[in-house]
Amino acid sequence: MEKLASLFHQHLATMQQHAQNVLTQHHLDAVLIHSGEPLMRFLDDQEYPFKVNPQFKAWVPVTHVPHCWLWVDGVNKPRLWFYSPVDYWHNVAPLPESFWTKDIDVIVLRNADEIGALLPAARDRVAYLGYVPERALSLGIVPQHINPKPILDYLHYHRAYKTDYELFCMREAQKTAVVGHRAAQSDHLFAQLIKDLNQGQQALIESMRVGVRYTDYHIQMHQRVAKLLHRHHLVQGMSEEAMLESGLTWVFLPHGLGHPLGLQVHDVGGFMQDERGTHLAAPEAHPYLRCTRVMQPRMVLTIESGIYFIESLLAPWHSGQYSQHIDWKK
């Protein structure tokens, strides 16, 4: 636990530096980050499962508690108003005491509607980050400071670079994920195809280098898929180059190579080329690619090589000019 506390302390220092930089650039005093609020089901008295604001959980590992507020100015210890009402009906999270709480000023919030009286009074130069803008307005946040794009662009760009704390948490989570991804038993031919696919995936991962655009690796994976289709005689009498040019490899690998991974499964910032939010879209021929960034240290991205046999995607090729090259019996 001491190691985790130390990693979190370093993580928070990085987050504070980011906050100080962006607040200074945009002449703001602080940022108020909302964990979020429950959403009621239509014509019902039940709530949908709560989904926390990712900007909130970037700072504190609180993922299941609504009505929490975090005040950050980049200099002083962040203040967290933690919602913990007196409630005999619902399960209430107790005030946290863990590896991270020494670095955060944790204040109990018994009534969600009392937050306005507890926050610092001067809020005309405070930015709100959250998905309940009407709540921000009720607290006196000016409209132009509600989820301001320059602030979000800056934070989203830097989300691609993980701290040691984040890397540690992701490795621990992966240990659980591996258990849930046991390969199913299958026939020999399909098993060999999957084995070769996995080897190609590992080879691609080994080839990844700083300074190379992620798009290039996506194209390389399609080249590897073309080789697999040849090797396993799924496609015959057609060059690997022709498979790529015709779009045939897309039929067997219809999604992008992967995406940034972090606080969200499809983490933000995949198309951002700088902290101002400059956008580089996926190539026209590969519209489902979720990342066009140049690889840099501390980035975490998925490499989701795959080979699919989806009837709706294969159907147009049954009667096309390339139909004769595909072994439909397999």
**Residue 221 pLDDT:** 96
- Residue 177, pLDDT > 80, answer no
Q: Is the dihedral of CA 284, 288, 293, 297 positive or negative?
A: negative
159, two tokens:
């989300």
pLDDT at 180 over 70: no
Give pLDDT tens digits for 282-306.
999 999 999 999 999 999 999 999 9
**137 backbone dihedrals φ, ψ, rounded to 5°:** -60, -40
Q: Give pTM, 2 decimals.
A: 0.86
pLDDT in tens, 185-201: 455 678 889 899 999 99
Whether residue 148 contacts residue 26, with contact meaning beta carbons closer than 8 Å, is answered with: yes
pLDDT at residue 186, rounded to an integer = 52
Query: In this predicted model, what pLDDT tens digit does every residue of 69-116 receive, in sequence order?
Result: 999 999 999 999 999 998 877 788 899 999 999 999 999 999 999 999
Nearest CA-CA partner of 58 in 141, 135, 129, 132: 129
Task: Report residue 81 CA to chain centroid gap.
Answer: 25
DSSP letter string, 244-300: HHHTHHHHHS-S-S--B-SSSSS-S-TTBSSTT--B-PPPTT-TT----PBP-TTB-
- Which region among 1-5, 52-56, 207-211 has the lowest average model confidence (pLDDT)? 1-5
Please name the amino acid found at residue 270: G
pLDDT value of position 87: 83
- Mean residue pLDDT of the chain comes to 93
Q: Choose among 252, 229, 240, 230: nearest CA to 313.
A: 252
Segment among 82-91, 115-124, 148-157, 175-184 with least mean pLDDT: 175-184
CB 67 within 8 A of CB 29: no
Q: Residue 183 pLDDT more than 70? A: no
Higher pLDDT, 223 or 182: 223
Q: What is the percent of the chain where pLDDT is above 70?
A: 97
Q: What average pLDDT does the segment 36-47 reach? A: 91
Q: Strands across the sheet with 79-83, in order?
A: 105-109, 79-83, 69-72, 30-34, 126-129
Domains of the chain: 2-158 (3.40.350.10), 184-325 (3.90.230.10)
Predicted local confidence at residue 86, as pLDDT: 87
Helix (H, G, I), strand (E, B) or coil at 31: strand
161 CB burial (10 A radius; 0-12, 13-18, 19+): middle
The pair of structure tokens assigned to 157 is 């760009």
pLDDT over 90, % of the chain: 85
Distance CA 81, CA 101 (A): 12
* Residue 293 and residue 269 in contact, taking contact as beta carbons nearer than 8 Å: yes
Average pLDDT over residues 108-137: 96
